[in-house]
Chains A and B, each alone.
Chain A
Amino acid sequence: MTTLTDPPKSTFRVSQLIYDTRYRSLTFQVIAFILLSVAIGYLAKNLGANLRDQGLSISFGFLGVPAGYDINQRLIEYTSQSTNLRAAFVGILNTLLVAFLACATATVFGVVAGVLRLSNNWLVSKLMAFYVEIFRNIPVLIWIIIIFTIMTAVMPSPREFRGDDATASMFLGISAFTNRGIYIPMPYFENGFGGSVDWLIVIASLIGSFFATRFMSKRASAIQEATGVRPATLASNLAIWFVPLIVLSLVMGLTFEIPALKGFNFGGGIKVGGPLIAIWFALSIYTGAFIAENVRAGILAVSKGQTEAASALGLRPRRVMSLVILPQALRVIIPPLISNYLNITKNSSLAILVGYADVTATLGGITLNQTGRAIECVLLLMLFYLVVSLLISAVINVYNNAIKLKER
């Protein structure tokens, strides 16, 4: 069979397939291909036989039928009459939301802990070392459960806000921290144009301010180039940012809806659900410990000579940090940082432990339970995570290529 792919020569001997480097790699690949095909064929045959025996079939029809269950946190419109597919999308958005939030806060935790661990304050550096070690060496599953249990046990329930002898009170009278979530005042416009139009106007004004400040700083740089003196831009920048906002809120009548106890729960205001907070916090503090180690390693990786060389050039300490140390440390910090982001996304699949409806809980949980379509659900679930991971990996690769040491 292999000889067909290579036209036989007059001097060809079979043993050349193994001993001749010209043919050997081809032989191996053909053998590998045959083995792989046989293995896949064997598994496919078993799958077919098993399904036939049990009279089952692979079909994705269940995605189109009503899901029948409710989800507590929905970023898009969803009722129990929506389809399973829509439930999966609600879950996907929830996964992405918690992954995004946790990545942001984990970075903050990690950078703070990593820097403080290098601090010359003995107590603080030991405390941070303790934090890093204890979170890195205990499974995330245990941490999620512990944090969720602590949260529900320590925070007051809405019940405790009720009555004359209430044991809990609202923070400053405008926000409530309960074990079902955090309720904060919601801004809205009394005489605006209604709905999202108001917010679009606000966003547009912010974008306008952004470009205006950029223009101002460019102009300042141009003046500096020409005259050597940089005009003060702080006051004008502040004005550009805040004046339009203040005008807008006055014109449209900005007011806040204060959360208040209604029935069983707080109503009004913006609610950040307890499950979201629990999984968000657990993932950030867990991954923060790993990021702290990356940050520490990154800072330590920049050799002392760099600092000294920069100082010798007459750079001030702040400039040494921003122009010499940080760019080099970031080269070390960022690749593992992104792979930690990847881990957060993957670990968010444990959200069901705290009752958060991510995609593993909707598509891979309740939908799977109720329809019994295990193979289809698990395949779709893996596909989703794979796509997200590949996207993040692509970002890593682009970044790595961008910062690669250009060797000449």
Chain B
Amino acid sequence: MSDSSKNSIAFVRTEVLPELPPPSNATGAVRWMRDNLFATPGNSVLTIAAILVIYIVLSATVPWMINGIWNSDSLSQCREILDGQSGACFAVLAERWNQLLFGFTYPKDIYWRPGLAFVLLFVAVAPVLFFDLPRKLLLFTAVYPFIAFYLIWGGSVMVPLVALAGFVAGAIVFLRLIKNSFAVSAFGALVAAIVVWYAGGFLIPEAEITEGAMRSIPSRDLGGFMLNMMLGVTCVSLSLPIGIALALGRQSSMPFIKMVCVVFIEFVRGVPLITLLFVASVMLSYFFPPEATVDLFLRVVIMITLFSAAYIAEVIRGGLAALPKGQYEAGDSLGLDYAQSMRLIILPQALKISIPGIVNVAVGLFKDTTLVSVISMFDLVGMIRGPILASTEWNGVYWELFLFAAVLFFVVCYGISQYSQWLERRLATDHR
């Protein structure tokens, strides 16, 4: 800067002026509202309409909830206390919460068993859901089904132990023989498992355990939200391997196997779950040997598993199709056979991209477990529509019960779908 300019100009500001605050209507809440609520006339109309809707809904529900009564023995007593005012009778939840959660025949003193199984469920699924956790935790995941079975059904500890031993024997044989050929090792594993199960069958005591903390509980006594959770978790986890097999079968070059898989998948996806449940409740027992009856619970598990397997197969097929052809060719050029290239190259990638889809299927399936109430199983909805609404005390309580059911399902499903979205962001390894 030269001296001349300094002298030729009368005044030069040497410091920067402090920033003035923006005009009051372009700042803070007003600015935010102008930008986000009343940007255009159309937007303003929408905002006002939305406020109206919210007001109508809240004005109908809030006083009703606030007036809610938690302490009463029956609906008529609730009505007396309310004395004509609008108010909820939440007392039904206070009195029957245990039936809503566990069904009405599960013994009260052993609620801790399904409770513990529920808590352990989180430990078991954590390593599956979050890849950062130590892989050793997967070992617990593998053992969890047997622990959960023992906790919920109780009875002789030998049953889950023998079942587990069979799987372990199968796995050992599989790992020993896998170097030879996949087919041989799979067959060997199957034989080993069957031998162990057969031999182990003699270890199991004949008499049922009917006393004590670990007494056996018939599956008819399961009910409430616990039944929904069990059906959801069991069927999704059982249907995963079946779904993978079906998806691979559908992509297979063997025409017969491909045809069987296509027919199965299209058939199951083509009919509503409710008709499959009708099959479970009114038809399936004709297909079992005449000298046996199979539990309704097991029949329902079979049908729901097949149902979700078909949907999962379609999701995984999408994942398989999304893989670039180069991956398949890379496997071939490395000299891997079909089983190896699937196991080591294709499936890990295909499953990874399928996870959000699988989670969606799982959420849908979990919601659909409420349909079992139509075939006289007392799940959460079945408990409400059956014993509770049929009882003299609570005949006529609808909103409170269904609100409770809705909240339970919302919490679980929303949680899972949030996880799925997190996972999608996390798995988005492509470049954008």
Contact = CB atoms under 8 A, between A and B. Distances in A.
**Do A and B contact each other directly (Cβ–Cβ < 8 Å)?**
yes
Interface string A344-356: 0011011000000
B381 to A, nearest CB: 6
B282 interface: yes
Interface in B234-291: 253-257, 260, 266-267, 269-275, 278-279, 282-283, 285-290
Contacts of A50: 285-287, 290
B422 interface: no
Nearest to A346: B272
A234 B364 CA distance: 48
Given A121-B46, A121-B47, A137-B414, A47 B286 contact: yes
A357 interface: no
B165 interface: no
A140 interface: yes
A309 interface: no
A385 interface: yes
A145 B402 contact: yes
Interface string A108-122: 000000001001111
B390 interface: no
B371 interface: yes
Contact of A393 (B54, B257, B266, B410): B266
Contact of A124 (B47, B181, B405, B413): B47
A145 B35 CA distance: 40
A123 B51 contact: yes
Interface residues of A, number: 53
A32 B257 contact: yes
A29 B270 contact: no
A124 B373 CA distance: 36
B306 to A, nearest CB: 13
Contacts, number: 153
B183 interface: yes
B266 A51 contact: no
Contacts of A145: 381, 385, 402
Interface residues on B, range: 35 or more
Given A121-B46, A138-B410, A389 B286 contact: no
Contact of B275 (A29, A140, A360, A375): A360
Interface stretch (B36-44, B71-79, B141-149, B199-207): B36-44
A121 B36 contact: yes
A186 interface: no
A358 to B, nearest CB: 11
Nearest to B287: A43
Contact of B53 (A127, A134, A385): A127
A407 B381 CA distance: 51
Interface in A381-408: 381-382, 385-386, 388-390, 393
Nearest to A27: B183
A201 interface: no
Nearest to B51: A123
A41 B47 CA distance: 65
Given A119-B46, A121-B47, A375 B283 contact: yes
B349 interface: no
A350 B39 contact: no
Contact of B271 (A36, A368, A382): A382
17 contacts: A29-B254, A119-B43, A119-B46, A122-B37, A123-B37, A133-B417, A142-B405, A142-B406, A145-B381, A145-B402, A149-B398, A149-B402, A347-B272, A374-B283, A378-B275, A382-B279, A386-B267
